[in-house]
């Protein structure tokens, strides 16, 4: 089968990682696989050498958005004509709009993969117009949660499937022994409004007063770095809260920690939470839309769910784990079982079967 993936870039991110893993899986099974990205640049994830990578990048000034996208659509059409795929799988809204605008001319089945909270992704008037016009043209949809699926109309729901993200291979069958004596609390994610690390820093201020031996590490980069640095300074936490930037060794950072915390206001299927659970860490996460954390965590059994943007609940949950070694060990042990549920071989196989189903139905 000749399969094409379309997305914004192959930089660091959850959707990018899923495509890298799935592309490698499909290429290893002798499928022809191509990746078309909006911007240029190599993949930060290792790709099978047989996978071809194309870019829609052009040199037009960024402020000329309409003309820039017209050129991208023309270039996309030309690349697709050259590749002649059996199916196209697009991740995220903008790449999906471009592919579906060409649907009539390219005459190829298209699967759209929705990766984030639809209420946020399609909250602008323009996004809703584009979505309402193009999405009915798609032949299939992949959602990560039931909550995301329910945002869309019945017609779209009927031709959809729910496939969560897989755990990365490096986290499966990891013989990691949890260390409840660690005094490190960790968060991993982009430094932006969605991740709401300011809530974590403010909650940790109260923790640091009662438990001065604890330190908080927030790994990631983003447009809120300067703001978060100022929050840390204002709260006199310069010796307690650290922003080391992005890390290339997530697993090692998780292994050194006692508790993982996710404070996002919304998420799809949060990869960092999955990886922390797979490593065998007790995790605290906001029960945020569109249901990813709730899918992963059974509250009190393999992690702790708290309301979004609730500092008091976060402080209480952190204190509970700091003071309860047995509970930490229980949560850590149960969290590790996520590796069975989200085994990469199982998830990639589910994707493969769905792709075959859409192609076969299209050719009937």
Taking residues 268-280, report their average pLDDT.
93
14 pLDDT above the threshold of 90: no
- Let me know if domain 170-341 sits in CATH 2.60.34.10: no
Taking residues 151-177, report their average pLDDT.
89
pLDDT at 171: 85
pLDDT, tens digit, 9 for 90 and up, residues 56-111: 987 666 667 788 889 999 999 999 999 999 999 999 999 999 999 999 999 999 99
pLDDT at 21: 93
117 CB burial (10 A radius; 0-12, 13-18, 19+):
buried
Q: Report the candidate in 61, 54, 137 with the shortest Cα–Cα distance to residue 97.
A: 137
Enclosing H/E stretch for 71: helix 65-83
pTM over 0.85: yes
**Dist. CA 83–CA 54, nearest whole Å:** 10
Secondary structure E strands in 165-263: 184-188, 215-219, 241-245, 259-262
Q: What percent of the chain has pLDDT over 90?
A: 88
Residue whose structure tokens are 């050194």: 256
SS3 content of the chain, % helix, strand, coil (to 5): 45, 15, 35
**Residue 215: strand pairing partners:** 184
**Dist. CA 216–CA 303, nearest whole Å:** 19
pLDDT, tens digit, 9 for 90 and up, residues 170-203: 888 667 889 999 999 999 999 999 999 999 999 9
276 pLDDT above the threshold of 70: yes
Whether residue 253 contacts residue 281, with contact meaning beta carbons closer than 8 Å, is answered with: no
Angle CA 145–147–153, to nearest 5: 110
Q: Report the candidate in 105, 69, 112, 72 with the shortest Cα–Cα distance to residue 89.
A: 112
SS3 246: coil
Taking residues 281-301, report their average pLDDT.
96
CA distances from 277 to 33, 68, 161, 247 (A): 31, 42, 24, 18
Q: Report the candidate in 100, 93, 113 with the shortest Cα–Cα distance to residue 19.
A: 113
**Dist. CA 277–CA 303, nearest whole Å:** 8
Q: Is-same-fold flag (2-166+343-362; 170-341)? A: yes
Whether residue 13 contacts residue 89, with contact meaning beta carbons closer than 8 Å, is answered with: no
Fold held by 2-166+343-362: Rossmann fold (3.40.50)
Boundaries of every domain in the chain? 2-166+343-362, 170-341
The full DSSP string for 130-184 is HHHHHGGG-SEEEESSHHHHTTS-HHHHHTEEE-PPPPPGGGTT------TT--E
Enclosing H/E stretch for 315: helix 311-322
CA distances from 6 to 35, 105, 160, 238, 291 (A): 6, 17, 18, 42, 25
pLDDT at 60: 65
Task: Give the least confident one: 54-63, 134-143, 223-232, 315-324.
Answer: 54-63
SS3 336: coil
pLDDT at 99: 97
Q: Are strands 140-143 and 304-306 parallel, antiparallel or unpaired?
A: unpaired
């Amino acid at each position: 089968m000749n399969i094409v993936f379309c997305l914004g870039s192959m930089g660091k991110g959850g959707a990018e990682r899923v495509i890298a893993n799935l592309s490698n899986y499909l290429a290893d099974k002798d499928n022809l696989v191509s990746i078309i990205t909006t911007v240029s640049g190599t993949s930060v994830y290792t790709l099978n050498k047989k996978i071809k990578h194309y870019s829609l990048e052009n040199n037009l000034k960024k402020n000329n958005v309409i003309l820039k996208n017209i050129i991208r659509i023309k270039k996309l059409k030309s690349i697709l004509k050259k590749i002649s795929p059996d199916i196209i799988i697009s991740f995220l809204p903008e790449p999906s709009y471009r592919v579906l605008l060409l649907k009539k001319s390219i005459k190829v089945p298209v699967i759209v993969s929705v990766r984030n909270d639809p209420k946020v992704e399609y909250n602008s008037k323009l996004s809703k117009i584009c979505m309402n016009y193009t999405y009915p043209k798609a032949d299939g949809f992949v959602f990560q949660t039931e909550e995301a699926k329910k945002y869309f109309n019945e017609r779209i729901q009927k031709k959809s499937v729910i496939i969560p993200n897989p755990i990365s291979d490096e986290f499966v069958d990891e013989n990691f022994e949890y260390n409840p004596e660690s005094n490190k609390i960790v968060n991993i994610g982009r430094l932006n409004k969605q991740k709401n690390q300011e809530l974590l820093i403010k909650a940790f201020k109260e923790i640091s007063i009662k438990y001065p031996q604890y330190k908080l590490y927030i790994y990631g980069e983003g447009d809120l770095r300067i703001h978060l640095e100022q929050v840390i300074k204002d709260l006199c936490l310069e010796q307690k809260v650290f922003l080391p930037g992005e890390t290339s060794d997530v697993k090692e950072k998780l292994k050194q920690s006692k508790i993982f915390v996710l404070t996002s206001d919304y998420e799809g299927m949060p990869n960092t939470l999955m990886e922390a659970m797979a490593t065998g860490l007790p995790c605290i996460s906001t029960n945020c839309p569109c249901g990813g954390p709730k899918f992963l965590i059974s509250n009190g059994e393999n992690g702790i769910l708290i309301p979004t943007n609730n500092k008091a609940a976060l402080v209480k949950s952190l204190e509970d784990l700091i003071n309860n070694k047995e509970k930490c060990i229980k949560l850590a042990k149960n969290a590790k079982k996520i590796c069975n549920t989200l085994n990469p071989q199982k998830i990639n196989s589910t994707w493969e079967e769905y792709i075959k189903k859409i192609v076969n139905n299209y050719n009937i």
